[in-house]
Amino acid sequence: MARKILFPTDGSPAAKAAGRFARDIAKGEGDSLLVLVVAAPAAYGSVEDKAVTEGIASYMRQVAEDEATELSASGVEASFEVVESLEIHEAIVAKAQEAEADMMVMGTHGHTGFRRAVIGSIADKVVRYSDVPVVLVPLKSGE
C-alpha cells in the first residue's frame, strides 16, 4: 500500500540530503511525496515587513516547486505546498495531520551542546510534538 510522505524543506544542504533519502524511500515503495515549505513572516518586533514577507514566500515557493519538479523527474509522485507561519514546527506538525501523512522525512544539521541550546532545532520540536513518525536525516549522510 502506497504511503504519503511529508518532506518539509528549507532548501538547505541538510534538507537536500533528506530529500534524496525521501526520494529513495518513495521510489522503492511507490509512495507519494508532499514537499512542504513554511515561510515565516518577516517581523521586527510587532511590525511585519510585508515586502520582505512576500519575497520570502516567493523564494520558498520556488524552493518547494523546484524540489517537487526534481523528485517528479526522478520518477516519484510529488506535489508541493507553501504555508506561512511564525511557528515552523507547529505548521509542519499540523500539515502532517491535515494531509494524513504516514511519515515525515526531515533533514537535521546535527548541532549538539551549546549550539543546539542557543539555536534550537525545528526537527527536534517536530519529533517531540508529532503523532506521525519522523525520520531525521543528518547532513553528513548526504555529503
CATH of the domain at 90: 3.40.50.620
CB environment 104-139: b (16+ within 10 A), e (fewer): bbbbbbbeeeeeeeeeebbbebbbeebebebebbeb
How many other C-beta atoms lie within 10 A of the C-beta of residue 30? Answer: 12
- pLDDT confidence of residue 142: 45
pLDDT digit string (tens) for 41-77?
887 777 778 888 889 889 999 999 999 999 999 999 9
User: Is-above-0.75 flag for pTM?
Assistant: yes
Asked if the model's pLDDT at residue 16 lies above 60, the reply is: yes
As for how many domains the chain has, the answer is 1
CA 127 to chain centre: 13
Q: Which residues pair with 69 in a beta bridge?
A: none
**pLDDT value, residue 143:** 46
Per the structure, the complete domain to which residue 56 belongs is given by 4-142
- 118 pLDDT band, cuts 50/70/90, is very low
Please, which residues bridge with residue 47 across strands? 44
Rounded distance between C-alpha atoms, residue 120 and residue 116, angstroms: 5
Give me the mean pLDDT over the 95-122 stretch: 77
